[in-house]
Structure 1
Amino acid sequence: MTARILIIEDEALVAMELRFVLEDLGHDVVATAADARSARSISAENDVDLALVDIHLSDGPTGIELGRDLADDGVTVVFMTANPGMVRDGVKGALGVLSKPTDERAVQTAVDYALKRREGRPVDYAPPELQLFGA
């Protein structure tokens, strides 16, 4: 399944690497955003299936609230952060958190899992790198 993915990451090299990985997997990267305002604007103008959301963006620790808002709008949200303890209790509507730094395989398995869940397809188990909320 080709998905429309929004990358919300303020570190340009990390965002670029994620874009390459996702495009190599056949997904459509709608855009990358470095702050919450840009991400909200892009999401409002595009049909987004999945958002990979860093917690600390260029405008501060705005990723948690942003992820909650995107989930309320029907976007599947996976947080990516070097500090997963910040979301250990979960975020309403978000699927889970992937710890950074990560590798291509972890991104691939987490995205595949998130998209299967979004489609309501059966999944045997979550990838070990993806900490699910409410699990």
Structure 2
Amino acid sequence: MTARILIIEDEALVAMELRFVLEDLGHEVIGTAADAATARNLVAENEVDLALVDIHLSDGPTGIGLGRELGQDRGVSVLFMTANPGMVRDGVAGTIGVLSKPTDERAVQTAVDYALRRRQGRPVEFAPPELQLFG
């Protein structure tokens, strides 16, 4: 199942590594954004299935609001990826869950697969252990 994925991450090396992992899995990375404005522009110009969103971006802790906006208003499936999972402990409306950083390739793959199966309405028996689900 190939998806169009947006990486919203201000650390260039992390974003590049995520891009490599996702492309190796056969997904199309439509872009990377280091701040909320760039992310909004990429979503406006492209069809996005899934966004991987860090909480702290180059314009501050804007990821939470951005994730809510993409999930609720734009129909994008959203997974947070952050070193600060406690910031979204109570969940964020319109989003799926949070993957703690640092993480590994297998955790990214299983979390992305889970999110995409949910998006397509396909059965998901359980979430990967590294993925903390909301609600």
Q: Structure 2-normalised TM-score? A: 0.99
Which secondary structure does the structure 1 equivalent of 2:68 belong to? helix
State how far apart, in whole Å, the 2-side matches of 1:83 and 1:63 are: 12
Within 5 Å, which residues of 2 pair with 1:48-87? 48-72=48-72, 73-87=74-88
State how far apart, in whole Å, the 2-side matches of 1:39 and 1:91 are: 18
Equivalent residue number for residue 119 of structure 1: 120
The offset of 1:69, in angstroms, is 0.6
The offset of 1:8, in angstroms, is 0.1
Which secondary structure does the structure 2 equivalent of 1:15 belong to? helix
Q: Which amino acid aligns with 2:40?
A: R
Task: Flag structure 1 segments of 5+ consecutive residues without an equivalent.
Answer: none
State how far apart, in whole Å, the 2-side matches of 1:113 and 1:20 are: 19
State how far apart, in whole Å, the 1-side matches of 2:80 and 2:126 are: 18
Runs of 4+ aligned residues of structure 1 deviating over 2 Å after TM superposition are none
Equivalent residue number for residue 92 of structure 2: 91
Equivalent residue number for residue 22 of structure 1: 22
Q: Which amino acid aligns with 2:60?
A: G
Identity of aligned residues (%): 83
The offset of 1:105, in angstroms, is 0.2
Which secondary structure does the structure 2 equivalent of 1:60 belong to? coil
Q: Which amino acid aligns with 1:36?
A: A
The offset of 1:74, in angstroms, is 0.2
Which secondary structure does the structure 1 equivalent of 2:124 belong to? coil
Q: Structure 1-normalised TM-score? A: 0.99
Q: Which amino acid aligns with 2:57?
A: L
2:120 is the counterpart of 1:110 = no
The offset of 1:52, in angstroms, is 0.0
Once the two structures are superposed, residues 6-51 of structure 1 have per-residue CA deviations (whole angstroms, 9 ceiling, x without a partner) of: 0000000000000000000000000000000000000011000000
Task: Flag structure 2 segments of 5+ consecutive residues without an equivalent.
Answer: none
The offset of 1:125, in angstroms, is 0.5
CA-based RMSD: 0.3
